[in-house]
Structure 1
């Protein structure tokens, strides 16, 4: 079994997240995509409580049988580390091959992750750049990838998805200013946000 892990704040989850999960699943022949909302982050402003972000991700993914949402980090007290979540997922799916889906910006900070040398033994990395990734020098991407592969024996693959640029920041801005988010977030998520009066 091949499982992709897509972690994030999802504040809120939007159609770009969902499309990313589906495209990577298809391109890399993954059986399941696990959405992993992060726990509460007191240092971040305007972030919805973790339980609400988990509920929004659940609403957004409920009609896709290939998507699973786990509350590993939203239920955990204190700071969540990726290594701890991966160990739990390993126990849940003991025979699965794990693939951690990240953005291009994260590629350049991977080596700073807690227990990164242990993480690379448990999961490969699928890097999905946004359409505007040309802002980053291709040579820098190659250099960083080779560094992680040589220094940590990491397995890294760049997955081109040609995804449009859409951010949760933009979604929150539009909600706050009473602008339309149609086609940006799932309708069920939009109704949830409205009912909870989030991001106002």
Structure 2
């Protein structure tokens, strides 16, 4: 059975912290592949993404180019409405019955798991890999008992990088080079994304 890590999110923009989390989870959890899935409308974030779905997908493709175990999927961008993980898992399970899935999420999102749409059904279908993030302590004990055994916390090198900070730097006219892969940086500059 192929073990696949799923990384969902707005990726507005994707940055080296996302890539490091994916690679760390791939290595530490024995994943065969990691699939990046930009969301159309994230359920737990207010406001629409700054960049279009097409641009966010292209930045993901640029960021993962050359990594044989990384893949970009557009299924949430094609599906109308809110991008619920349970709908994504149902679609992927039908497409790839020989795969087992684990969501890779930031440590800051582990504590939010009880708020995820149809979380009990989702947790019965996938595992969760929580990667530690600076300033976001994870308390597995605070999760409902049904979720505790479905979450594995893994350490990763600590980088305090976020997409919102990258957008803020761009609005201020400052460089985001080295916070995002070179191809993503060039795309952001060429398209004038996140500027004032």
TM over 0.5: yes
| Stretch deviating more after TM superposition (39-48 or 79-88) | 39-48
Q: Within the alignment, does 1:94 sit opposite 2:97 as a pair?
A: yes
Superposed displacement of residue 56, structure 1: 0.7
Once the two structures are superposed, residues 67-102 of structure 1 have per-residue CA deviations (whole angstroms, 9 ceiling, x without a partner) of: 011001111112121100011111222111211111
| Stretch deviating more after TM superposition (17-26 or 174-183) | 174-183
Structure 1 runs, 4 residues or longer, greater than 6 Å off: none
- CA-based RMSD of the aligned residues comes to 1.9
Superposed displacement of residue 152, structure 1: 5.1
Superposed displacement of residue 112, structure 1: 2.0
User: Which residue number corresponds to residue 141 of structure 2?
Assistant: 143
The TM-score, its normalising length taken from structure 1, stands at 0.88
Q: Map 1:35-184; keep pairs closer than 5 Å.
A: 35-40=36-41, 43-44=46-47, 47-133=50-136, 136=137, 141-145=139-143, 147=144, 150-151=145-146, 154-184=149-179
- Mapped to 2, the partners of 1:8 and 1:152 lie a distance apart of 21
How many residue pairs were aligned?
192
Contact 1:40 / 1:49 at 8 angstroms: preserved in 2?
no
- Mapped to 1, the partners of 2:125 and 2:148 lie a distance apart of 11
Once the two structures are superposed, residues 146-182 of structure 1 have per-residue CA deviations (whole angstroms, 9 ceiling, x without a partner) of: x3xx235751111111331101111112222221212
Q: The residue matched to 1:183 in structure 2 has which SS?
A: coil
- Mapped to 2, the partners of 1:88 and 1:188 lie a distance apart of 30
- Mapped to 1, the partners of 2:168 and 2:148 lie a distance apart of 41
Contact 2:12 / 2:50 at 8 angstroms: preserved in 1?
yes
The TM-score, its normalising length taken from structure 2, stands at 0.90
Q: The residue matched to 2:158 in structure 1 has which SS?
A: coil
Distance change in 2, residues 1:194/1:143 (3 Å): same
Superposed displacement of residue 43, structure 1: 4.8
- Mapped to 2, the partners of 1:16 and 1:185 lie a distance apart of 8
